[in-house]
Amino acid sequence: MAMTMTQKILAAHSGKESVSTGELILADLDLVLGNDITSPVAIKEFAKLGKDSVFDKNKITMVMDHFAPNKDIKAAEQCKMCRDFCAEKDITHFYDVGEMGIEHALLPEKGLVTAGNVVIGADSHTCTYGALGAFSTGVGSTDMACGMATGKAWFKVPSAIKFKLTGSLRRYVSGKDVILHIIGKIGVDGALYRSMEFTGEGLSSLSMADRLCIANMAIEAGAKNGIFEVDDITLDYIREHGGAEPVIYSADPDAEYDEVINIDLSQIEPTVAFPHLPENTRTFDNIGEVKIDQVVIGSCTNGRLEDLIAAAEIMKGHKAAKNVRVIIIPATQQIYLDAMEMGLLRTFIECGAVVSTPTCGPCLGGYMGILAAGERAVTTTNRNFVGRMGHPDSEVYLASPATAAASALTGRITSPWEVIGK
25 three-class SS: strand
CA distances from 339 to 22, 49, 101 (A): 45, 44, 14
Rg from Cα positions in the chain: 20
Cα dihedral sign, 243-198-137-311: positive
Give the integer Cα–Cα distance in Å for 215 and 197.
9
Are 269 and 173 in contact by the 8 Å Cβ rule? The answer is yes
Q: What is the DSSP letter of 365?
A: T
Strands annotated E in 2-113: 24-28, 31-35, 60-63, 93-95
Q: CA-to-CA distance for 204 and 195, rounded, in angstroms?
A: 21
Return the sign of the alpha-carbon dihedral for residues 87, 93, 99, 102: negative
**Single-letter residue type at 81:** M
Strand partners, 261: 163
Q: Is 300 known as a binding-site position?
A: yes
Distance separating alpha carbons of residues 348 and 380, to the nearest angstrom: 16
Give the pairing of strands 194-199 and 159-166: parallel
Total residue length of the chain: 422
Residue 39 contacts residue 122 (beta carbons within 8 Å):
yes
Q: Report how far residue 418's alpha carbon sits from residue 174's, in angstroms, rounded to the nearest whole number.
A: 16
How far apart, in whole angstroms, are the C-alpha atoms of residue 313 and residue 168? 21
Q: Residue 22: which of 159, 198, 191 has the closest Cα? A: 159
Specify whether the CB–CB gap between 411 and 292 falls below 8 A.
yes
Helix, strand, coil % in the chain, rounded to nearest 5: 35, 20, 45
One-letter identity of residue 104: H
**Cα–Cα distance between 407 and 291 in angstroms, integer?**
9
Quick one: 88 exposed, middle or buried, by C-beta within 10 A (0-12, 13-18, 19+)?
exposed
Binding residues for [4Fe-4S] cluster: 300, 360, 363
Binding residues: 300, 360, 363
